[in-house]
Amino acid sequence: MTTMTAFERLSDEEKHNHFMQRIEAGEKIEAEDWMPEEYRMTLIKLISMHGISEIMGALPEKEWVPKAPTLRRKLGIMAKVQDEMGHGQLLLRVAEDLMKPYGRNREDIMQDLFTGRLKFHNVFHMPAPTWGDAGLIGWLVDGAAIITQTNMLKASYGPYARALQRICAEEVFHAQHGEAIIMALAEGTDEQKALVQDSLNRWWESLLMFFGPAAADTTGSSKQDTTIKYKIRTKTNEQLRQDFFTKYIPRVLSLGLELPDPTMRYDEEKGLWIYKQPDWNEFKEIVRNNGPKSKERLRLRQLSYENNAWVREALSPSNEAI
Tens of pLDDT along the chain (322 residues) come to: 456 677 778 888 999 999 999 999 999 999 999 999 999 999 999 999 999 999 999 999 999 999 999 999 999 999 999 999 999 999 999 999 999 999 999 999 999 999 999 999 999 999 999 999 999 999 999 999 999 999 999 999 999 999 999 999 999 999 999 999 999 999 999 999 999 999 999 999 999 999 999 986 665 556 889 999 999 999 999 999 999 999 999 999 999 999 999 999 999 999 999 999 999 999 999 999 999 999 999 999 999 999 988 888 888 776 555 4
CA dihedral 195, 196, 197, 198 (to 10 degrees): 50
What is the Cα–Cα distance from 163 to 99, expressed in whole angstroms?
Answer: 17
Looking at the structure, give the CATH architecture of the domain made up of residues 25-319: Up-down Bundle (1.20)
- Ranges of each domain in the chain: 25-319
pLDDT of 222 reads 67
d(CA 250, CA 58): 28
The strand pairing partners of 274, in sequence order, are 265
Listed in sequence order, the residues at least 6 apart from 6 whose beta carbon sits closer than 8 Å to its beta carbon are: none
Contact between 35 and 12 (Cβ < 8 Å): no
* pLDDT for res 320: 55
Residue 322 confidence (pLDDT): 47
Q: Which residues contact 199 (CB under 8 A, 6 or more apart)?
A: 130, 132, 133, 135, 136
**This prediction's pTM:** 0.92
Q: What does the alpha-carbon distance between residue 62 and residue 82 come to, in Å, rounded to a whole number?
A: 9
Are the C-beta atoms of residues 185 and 196 closer than 8 Å to each other?
yes
Neighbours of 187 (CB within 10 A): 11
